């Protein structure tokens, strides 16, 4: 069968690479595109000895002063010289395509770097032709910003410009001025950027802050509310998720659809998951995938994760498709966060089994597959603007961005030079090379999960049904496509748990163990009474 049901972005596994942290080929301490090329065998060499990812998502690689990990672009049409150049990027693209690996680029459409020539021009005078490319306004009165909107990070979202005596708007940090998407020239310029990369052959985009493109034209004040941090003291009715931003996502979809096989996944930054789902449109006319932060924020609890999944399953548009991740470059790594109560390794295996067998596209963050921990970065070594400014609360995001732990050698095999962020000290006993040789390692568990998924259409695109009547601490579900029926049982607690596949789900069939954290793969099992070992993940196939 061909067509939408089998689209690569639905059935495949996406591997997110923080380019600066993956592999450094030229000993300057910073990861680069050549470093990725050198490690494509690790990502997918076409055999189950490799991870088997179907696509890589690269954090921003456009030219940038790198004040925010590249999310501050100074030229959308060129490659950051610290990562490589256009030739190397094309080489990477070809090498990936030669292996059937898709390449997804991170696109920052909401704001540019303040060093982008557009902004340099825009701030140069009030009558510069690019003035209106950004959101400039007069203050309410001298020294007072146009309204009380706050930036995601801190303080007023308005920055005063002494020379031209107006304020510009920045939803994130002051060096990331928001583009004015109401200006048709801006829209045309950004759509050209998208076409440029599609023409070059990239397979998709990860769209940064896609629900932030537009702000209320009247700059209406947000209602106040209670919350943890100043950004949460306002209900963001007017500075995010405006209807025009969804329209822009739809326009971007129309452009992407002109190129067969391409996709867009979007970061909808919100605390209301309804918002994130809205960016899927009817499931065919807006984003292909929308990030579901709720899942990534759950505690180590079977019922909690089940609740999160059921919510999404219940709220997607009929043609919509879920997407799950537990880690990324902004979040604390789950090996540490979910492993806090002990049994981190066993929990990581259960979490991996869940992420890779649910109905939805899984995104794995580099290093997750070897259980890289959340690193403690000394304050003076920090790079993240949030960490630098606010440490210790929050600690910042650098702890999830430390160099990939390839081996026990110098700098964990990441670089011959001094790494831009310190390597986590765990690399000596926790690294790719060691886990590669150990059949029971987390890495080999990820590989088996991914390759099994690749062989089973039910796991890739089958439907999902949670099993009822499961004991506390167990999350179990069935995935089904055609004749193929797979049951997944996840024991979140460190005690034995017994359960049965309900009679009407058994289909009179015998079940065989496809994957298990506790051995016996290939053995047949009596589905009327299954005993799960503490923290066991079990994947069964009806035969």
Catalytic residue annotation: 208, 258
402 within 8 A of 333, measured Cβ to Cβ: no
- Of 26, 251, 330, 345, the one binding ligand NOJ by CB under 6 A: 330
Per rule CB under 6 A, is residue 295 in the interface with ligand NOJ? no
Per rule CB under 6 A, is residue 329 in the interface with ligand NOJ? yes
Class of residue 266 by CB neighbours under 10 A (exposed 0-12, middle 13-18, buried 19+): buried
User: Angle 9-13-14 (CA atoms, 0-180°, nearest 5)?
Assistant: 80
Residue 198 corresponds to which tokens in the numbers above? 């599609």
Report, in Å, the least distance between residue 178 CB and Mg ion. Answer: 4
Report, in Å, the least distance between residue 72 CB and ligand NOJ. Answer: 7
Per rule CB under 6 A, is residue 108 in the interface with ligand NOJ? yes
Distance CA 323, CA 267 (A): 11
Report, in Å, the least distance between residue 463 CB and ligand NOJ. Answer: 31
Report, in Å, the least distance between residue 70 CB and ligand NOJ. Answer: 9
Residue 249 corresponds to which tokens in the numbers above? 């996502």
Question: Taking CB under 6 A as the criterion, which residues in 54-93 touch ligand NOJ?
Answer: 68-69, 71
CA distances from 335 to 117, 222, 340, 351, 484 (A): 41, 37, 8, 9, 32
- When the beta carbons of 365 and 492 are compared against ligand NOJ, the nearer one is 365
Residue 293 corresponds to which tokens in the numbers above? 């932060």
- When the beta carbons of 171 and 404 are compared against Mg ion, the nearer one is 171
280 within 8 A of 273, measured Cβ to Cβ: no
Q: Return the residue nearest ligand NOJ (CB atom).
A: 71
- When the beta carbons of 71 and 451 are compared against ligand NOJ, the nearer one is 71
Count Cβ atoms below 10 Å from residue 257 Cβ, excluding itself. 13
Report, in Å, the least distance between residue 412 CB and ligand NOJ. Answer: 23
Report, in Å, the least distance between residue 79 CB and Mg ion. Answer: 25
Residue 152 corresponds to which tokens in the numbers above? 């995601």
- When the beta carbons of 59 and 405 are compared against ligand NOJ, the nearer one is 59
Per rule CB under 6 A, is residue 109 in the interface with ligand NOJ? no
Question: Taking CB under 6 A as the criterion, which residues in 398-437 touch ligand NOJ?
Answer: none
Per rule CB under 6 A, is residue 209 in the interface with ligand NOJ? yes
Distance CA 158, CA 138 (A): 10
User: Angle 539-540-543 (CA atoms, 0-180°, nearest 5)?
Assistant: 155
Among Mg ion, ligand NOJ, none, what binds residue 369 when CB lies within 5 to 8 Å by partner kind? none
- When the beta carbons of 271 and 294 are compared against Mg ion, the nearer one is 271
User: Angle 468-474-478 (CA atoms, 0-180°, nearest 5)?
Assistant: 50
Contact mark string toward ligand NOJ, 169..208, x via CB under 6 A: ---x-----------------------------------x
268 within 8 A of 211, measured Cβ to Cβ: yes
3-state secondary structure of 196: helix
Distance CA 146, CA 195 (A): 35
Q: Is 374 left (phi over 0), alpha (psi -120 to 50) or beta?
A: beta
Q: Which residues share a beta bridge with 201? A: none
Report, in Å, the least distance between residue 447 CB and ligand NOJ. Answer: 27
- Of 203, 267, 383, 505, the one binding ligand NOJ by CB under 6 A: 267
Q: Which residues share a beta bridge with 255? A: none
Report, in Å, the least distance between residue 110 CB and ligand NOJ. Answer: 7
Q: Which residues share a beta bridge with 107? A: 207
- When the beta carbons of 63 and 490 are compared against ligand NOJ, the nearer one is 63
3-state secondary structure of 203: coil
Per rule CB under 6 A, is residue 383 in the interface with ligand NOJ? no
Give the footprint of Mg ion on this chain (CB under 5 A): 110, 178, 212
> Whose CA is closest to 422, among 382, 372, 393?
382
505 within 8 A of 523, measured Cβ to Cβ: no
Residue 208 corresponds to which tokens in the numbers above? 């940064």
- When the beta carbons of 108 and 374 are compared against ligand NOJ, the nearer one is 108
Residue 64 corresponds to which tokens in the numbers above? 């940038």
Query: Which residues of this chain interact with ligand NOJ, rule CB under 6 A?
Result: 68-69, 71, 108, 172, 208-209, 267, 329-330
């Amino acid at each position: 069968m061909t067509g939408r049901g089998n689209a690569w972005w639905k059935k495949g596994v996406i591997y997110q690479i923080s380019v600066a942290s993956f592999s450094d080929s030229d000993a300057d301490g910073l990861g680069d595109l050549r470093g990725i090329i050198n490690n494509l065998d690790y990502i997918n060499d076409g055999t189950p000895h490799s991870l088997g990812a179907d696509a890589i998502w690269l954090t921003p690689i456009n030219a940038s002063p790198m004040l925010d990990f590249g999310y501050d672009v100074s030229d959308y049409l060129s490659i950051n010289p610290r990562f490589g150049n256009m030739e190397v990027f094309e080489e990477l693209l070809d090498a990936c395509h030669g292996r059937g690996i898709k390449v997804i680029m991170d696109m920052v459409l909401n704001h540019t770097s303040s060093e982008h020539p557009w902004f340099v021009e825009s701030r140069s005078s009030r009558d510069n032709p690019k003035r209106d490319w950004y959101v400039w306004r007069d203050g309410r009165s001298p020294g007072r910003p146009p309204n009380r909107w706050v930036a995601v990070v801190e303080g007023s979202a308005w920055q005063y410009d002494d020379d031209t005596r107006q304020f510009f708007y920045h939803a994130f940090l002051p060096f990331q001025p928001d583009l004015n998407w109401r200006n048709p020239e801006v829209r045309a310029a950004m759509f050209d950027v998208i076409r440029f990369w599609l023409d070059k052959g990239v397979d998709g985009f990860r769209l940064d802050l896609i629900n932030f493109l537009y702000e209320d034209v009247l700059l209406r004040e947000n209602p106040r509310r209670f919350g943890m941090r100043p950004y949460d003291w306002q209900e963001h009715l007017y500075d995010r998720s405006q209807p025009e931003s969804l329209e822009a996502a739809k326009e971007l979809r129309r452009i992407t659809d002109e190129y067969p096989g391409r996709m867009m996944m979007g970061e909808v930054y919100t605390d209301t998951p309804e918002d994130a789902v809205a960016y899927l449109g009817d499931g065919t006319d807006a984003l292909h995938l929308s990030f579901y932060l709720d899942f990534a924020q759950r505690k180590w609890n079977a019922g909690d994760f089940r609740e999160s999944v059921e919510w999404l399953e219940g709220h997607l548009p009929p043609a919509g498709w879920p997407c799950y991740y537990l880690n990324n470059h902004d979040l604390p790594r789950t090996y540490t966060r979910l492993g806090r109560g002990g049994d981190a390794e066993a929990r990581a295996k259960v979490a991996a089994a869940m992420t890779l067998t649910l109905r939805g596209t899984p995104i794995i963050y580099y290093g997750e597959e070897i259980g890289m921990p959340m690193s403690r970065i000394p304050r003076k070594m920090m790079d993240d603007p949030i960490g630098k400014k606010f440490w210790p609360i929050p600690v910042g995001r650098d702890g999830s961005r430390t160099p990939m732990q390839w081996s026990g050698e110098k700098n964990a095999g990441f670089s011959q030079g001094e790494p831009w962020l310190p390597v986590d000290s765990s690399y000596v006993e926790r690294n790719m090379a060691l886990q590669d040789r150990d059949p029971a390692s987390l890495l080999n568990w990820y590989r088996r999960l991914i390759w099994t998924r690749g062989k089973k259409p039910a796991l890739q695109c089958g439907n999902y049904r949670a099993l009822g009547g499961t004991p506390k601490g167990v999350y179990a579900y069935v995935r089904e496509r055609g004749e193929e029926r797979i049951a997944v049982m996840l024991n979140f607690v460190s005690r034995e748990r017994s359960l049965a596949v309900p009679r009407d789900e058994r289909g009179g069939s015998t079940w065989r163990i496809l994957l298990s954290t506790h051995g016996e793969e290939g053995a047949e099992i009596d589905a009327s009474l299954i005993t799960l070992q503490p923290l066991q993940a079990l994947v069964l196939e009806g035969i």
